[in-house]
Amino acid sequence: MVEFETKTRILVVDDTAVDRQLAGGLLELSPSIKVEYAENGRLALEAMEQSPPDLVVTDMQMPELDGLALVSEIRAHYPGIPVVLMTAKGSEAIAVEALERGAASYVPKSQLAEILQTTVGDLLSMVDAHKSHSQLMECQKNLVCEYELGNDPALIDSFVDLSQQLLAGMDLTDETGVIRVGVALREALYNSLYHGNLEISDEDMESSRENLMTGGDSLLEKRRTQAPFCDRRIRVRVAMDREQAVFEIEDDGDGFDYASVLTMASNEDVDVENGRGFLLMLSMMDEVSFNESGNSVKMIKRKETAVPVEA
């Protein structure tokens, strides 16, 4: 009997043919991914009614039904399907609104080649982990636990997977919400690892994360064995019950000027390219705060009510 490989199906939505093919071509570099296409949000929903994909990548500005409305519809009717937005320069305020409506992540169009595959790969791994463990923790009422992760990216991924399992069991949010919390946690932990403990720049951080997905990263391994970086640790405290989940993440780095980032975000002036990690954290958690030096972040996710369908 012939066995057929089941591929991950991703729906790319964009009214511009060149952009559709660019995004789809990048995703199909992975042999395990099959890309399908729609020219606008309305056609995307029609396609999803027939056969829901595993993930949606969509442009923001489209005729008939734009990216914002599509995010709302998918969150309301397909809460287990994450949406990744493709954003253009100057669309910072719209990107913030889309994340607030339920998008799982975003990728600036100027950085598609660099981070689209990594972003989609991270989200798909979160979806798989959530589906396989969503019923394990249903009897848990509350918990408090602490971790010391060291500087190992594999431990970060394991911690995010575990946190999603616990969050699903507490019934604080729907499937999309669980994935979004996982995105925020991963961004916070990778910031602690790369920027905090290992003092790696934004540019080198993106290339390092991409290299991790393809087998290794020499810069990361080098810093992990050098002083003073090798002695630094990431400490995480989790307190979770049926009303909220609190995550406190602290590294041994020098910290950063968090006040300027929070000010930009509150004014919707945050740079969607260079401030991407912080924007994801701020948009997907109900509360984000830092200690005075900026090397410790506290993120709170409160119990959600049903998400209304946008008109």
Q: What is the pLDDT of residues 42-88, one digit of tens each?
A: 999 999 999 999 999 999 889 889 999 999 999 999 988 999 999 88
Which contacts (CB < 8 Å, 24+ apart) does range 266-269 have?
268/92, 268/93, 268/96, 269/92
Note down the domain range covering 233: 129-302
134 shares a domain with 18: no
CATH of the domain at 282: 3.30.565.10
118 shares a domain with 134: no
Residue 1 maps to a domain: no
169 shares a domain with 113: no
- Helix 276-284 and helix 175-190, axial crossing angle in degrees, nearest 10: 140
The per-residue pLDDT of the chain, averaged, comes to: 85
**Domains contained in the chain, number:** 2
pLDDT band at 137 (very low <50, low <70, confident <90, very high): low
pTM over 0.75: yes
279 shares a domain with 153: yes
Helix (H, G, I), strand (E, B) or coil at 108: strand
281 shares a domain with 223: yes
pLDDT at 113: 92
Residue 49 maps to a domain: yes
87 shares a domain with 148: no
pLDDT at 311: 44
Residue 224 maps to a domain: yes
